[in-house]
Amino acid sequence: MDFSLADEQRMVQEMARDFAEKEIAPYVEEDEENHYYRREILTKMGELGLLGWSIPEEYGGNGMGWLEAVTALYEISKVHTSWRLSVSGNCWGPALTINEWGTEEQKQKYIPGLVSGKHVGSFAMTEADTGSDVAGMKTFAEDKGDHFLVNGSKMWISGGHTCDVGLLYVVTEKGAGAKGLSCLIVDYNHTPGVTRIPILKKVGMWPAPTSELVFENAVIPKENLLGPVNKGFPICMWMLNNTRMGCAIGAAALSAACLEGAVQYAQERTQFGRQIGQYQMIQQQIAEMKLEDEAAKYLVYHAAWLKEKKLPSQQATSLAKLFSCNAAVHAANVAMKLYGSYGYSTEYPCGRWLRDAKQFETLEGTSNIHMQIIAKIELGYQPNR
């Protein structure tokens, strides 16, 4: 496998880097301080085709696949990892899943708005008592003939109170576990009975909106059922195998940002008349960060290559997500120590790096869940999809 960039991929990389530096970087600290989500950035991402990866051009896709997506999203996430959520929330969550499982009418109705950035997307699985145990969710959709009547709640939903369109995973047959779940497409701007509550008390990812969703006799038309009834669990697992790539890319890019910052600071800071980078212990820390950063990047590209070839990629995706997560947390921790007292100051990005890195340990499958996936596939207890 040769992961060197072709000319077109290099152009994508440069375009994404230029976008991140001009449209995201100037507002990072301001938006962090104010916990502010700039919807106009997502709109601009859509206009540049940064939300249309692996989506057919007939529905507004950009004609490019997973490898180009990794190249672009990596550059965006290095500047501010909060914005990698837009690709998962719009493209690899609802748009790609609707493209795989939806009717032609659903594809034409929902995908173009998501990939153009006209609409903000989301997907909702997690509940207050069900995180890793997706099949244990309680939100119930009662079949009323021409519509579903939905009651229940979802927690920790990225983009939940800012989105226009989202996928909602619900119970449609009580007591059936994973065999009783279904997926619904929700038009949040035209669905009475939905209360969306921002979750403001978070450790990190402050400019990325997170929400609680409450459904009280919410009416979802029957034509908004995605795929067959009671087949929501395999749809959800298929979707997660895609959206988890966004986590892996974001974590790998955050690791790279920490490394770049640490190297720059080690060359600028002097102690006892020498750059601190000249001291052996600092060099060891930099070497460890570089080792993990390179490994994370190659694991991400390998998983993307498998997806591009339509080969089984579940284990590779979990490997990339788990290792990149660990690399990001370690790199952020080392960077904060290397910066010394300045690392603890909000004048430098170390605090943001560490806060944002920690969320990767729970997002879209905890580290324990990904260890289980990797081990069970390796042991032959479950297939590598």
Q: Which of 24, 23, 31, 37 is nearest to 162 (CA)?
A: 37
Is there a domain that residue 385 lies in? no
Is there a domain that residue 384 lies in? no
- 292 and 374 co-located in one domain: yes
- pLDDT value at position 131? 82
- 46 and 173 co-located in one domain: no
- 294 and 370 co-located in one domain: yes
Give me the phi and psi of 351, to 5 degrees please: -65, -45
- 239 and 331 co-located in one domain: yes
The full 3-state SS of the chain, as one line of letters, equals CCCCCCHHHHHHHHHHHHHHHHHHHHHHHHHHHHCCCCHHHHHHHHHCCCCCCCCCHHHCCCCCCHHHHHHHHHHHHHHCHHHHHHHHHHHHHHHHHHHHHCCHHHHHHHHHHHHHCCCCEEEECCECCECCCHHHCCCEEEECCCEEEEEEEEEEEECCCCCCEEEEEEECCCCCHHHHEEEEEEEHHHCCCEEEEECCCCCCCCCCCEEEEEEEEEEEEHHHEECCCCCHHHHHHHHHHHHHHHHHHHHHHHHHHHHHHHHHHHHHCEECCEEHHHCHHHHHHHHHHHHHHHHHHHHHHHHHHHHHCCCCCHHHHHHHHHHHHHHHHHHHHHHHHHCHHHHHCCCCCHHHHHHHHHHCCCCCCCHHHHHHHHHHHHHCCCCCC
- Which one of 75, 212, 292, 364 is the catalytic residue? 364
- pLDDT value at position 357? 97
- 219 and 188 co-located in one domain: yes
- 156 and 278 co-located in one domain: no
Is there a domain that residue 107 lies in? yes
- 95 and 139 co-located in one domain: no
- pLDDT value at position 150? 98
Is there a domain that residue 2 lies in? no
298, β-bridge pairs: none
Out of 230, 251, 277, a domain closes at 230
- 81 and 153 co-located in one domain: no
- 81 and 162 co-located in one domain: no
Out of 180, 208, 230, a domain closes at 230
Out of 119, 151, 169, a domain closes at 119
Is there a domain that residue 280 lies in? yes
- 37 and 73 co-located in one domain: yes
- 259 and 278 co-located in one domain: yes
- 95 and 184 co-located in one domain: no
The CATH number of residue 24's host domain is 1.10.540.10
- pLDDT value at position 2? 74
- Sequential pLDDT tens for the chain (385 residues): 777 888 999 999 999 999 999 999 999 999 999 999 999 999 999 999 999 999 999 999 999 999 999 999 999 999 999 999 999 999 999 999 999 999 999 999 999 999 999 999 999 999 998 888 999 999 999 999 999 999 999 999 999 999 999 999 999 999 999 999 999 999 999 999 999 999 999 999 999 999 999 999 999 999 999 999 999 999 999 999 999 999 999 999 999 999 999 999 999 999 999 999 999 999 999 999 999 999 999 999 999 999 999 999 999 999 999 999 999 999 999 999 999 999 999 999 999 999 999 999 999 999 999 999 999 999 999 999 9
pTM of the model: 0.95
Is there a domain that residue 1 lies in? no
Is there a domain that residue 31 lies in? yes
Overall domain count for the chain: 3
Is there a domain that residue 166 lies in? yes
- pLDDT value at position 132? 85
* Helix 104-116 vs helix 39-47: crossing angle, to nearest 10: 110
- pLDDT value at position 3? 76
Question: Is 364 tagged catalytic?
Answer: yes
The CATH number of residue 370's host domain is 1.20.140.10
Range of the domain at 248: 234-379
